[in-house]
Structure 1
């Protein structure tokens, strides 16, 4: 199994998926707790987790922070279209956007827009300043369209 795993032919089985689901719900669970819930002993559970870490299936363990409790009450989905798809325009935009702390996620997308940004910010006034002083100064942006999250129904990490 180790040889298959390292060669890239590794397939996750039902137990692996159960382990991943438990870790998604609570990354602080110990191996003993996970083992009990998936019906294995500690050693094979530990080995499965380590394999998934080595393979990159598990990239990291994080703390999920409540943005509203930090004072970031406005969540924005912002579509950005560039003037051209020239490689240097794309590179310049990407280098600039990853530097902005307000942007929590950035996706290069297909469709009417080129990028989708997730932005967490304090309020509408702060967003107006962000757009004017940070986003609008990035070269080659043709269009920005913002949508404001009214309520989050489902969010996974």
Structure 2
């Protein structure tokens, strides 16, 4: 992939903030024609800079009030163990984000559920039954300080 132009970077910044763009607004802000803006967007999509367009839903408005950061240790760091664990984790709807990590724990999960009872059921019936897990530690989110999907470059 080639280096992004300043206009491509500016376009990506705008779309990160609001993907429901008004083409007239974009043409004015970028000082480009409609065709050029559309062509650049299609190019950025094709090259994988834009992965998807989504609506960010407020979890509390839909009744998912309980967010937990879960640190998971595996009994082994062998590739096949890690890969099996990852395949199992992606099946769990409650897991919003999952990171295989280096350091003290092997995986960090962001889990969003209705309440502590639902979280307890998630641990007992879904997470702890994955055979490669040796330890689970939970931290309950008390307050969101910063929540963003926007990359700065």
Scaled by the length of structure 1, the TM-score of the pair is 0.89
In structure 1, the residue matched to 2:51 is 59
Q: Which moved more, 1:87-96 or 1:20-29?
A: 87-96
Instruction: List alignment gaps of at least 5 residues for structure 2.
Output: none
Q: How many residues align?
A: 149
1:153 deviates by 2.4
Q: 2: CA distance between counterparts of 1:90 and 1:43?
A: 46
In structure 2, the residue matched to 1:48 is 40
Instruction: List alignment gaps of at least 5 residues for structure 1.
Output: 1-7
Per-residue CA distance 1:68-103 (angstroms, 9 max, x = gap) = 101000111111110111223212211211111101
Determine helix, strand or coil for the equivalent of 1:70. Answer: coil
Q: 2: CA distance between counterparts of 1:105 and 1:128?
A: 18
In structure 1, the residue matched to 2:83 is 91
Aligned counterparts, 1:20-31, within 5 A:
20-31=12-23
In structure 2, the residue matched to 1:145 is 137
Q: 1: CA distance between counterparts of 2:49 and 2:148?
A: 16
- Structure in which a larger fraction of residues adopt helix: 1
Per-residue CA distance 1:107-134 (angstroms, 9 max, x = gap) = 1111111111111100111111111111
Q: 2: CA distance between counterparts of 1:132 and 1:64?
A: 29
1:33 paired to 2:25: yes
Superposed CA RMSD: 1.3
Taking CA–CA contacts closer than 8 Å with sequence separation of 6 or more, which of the two structures ends up with the larger relative contact order? 2
Determine helix, strand or coil for the equivalent of 1:59. Answer: coil
1:154 deviates by 2.1
1:156 paired to 2:148: yes
1:59 deviates by 0.7
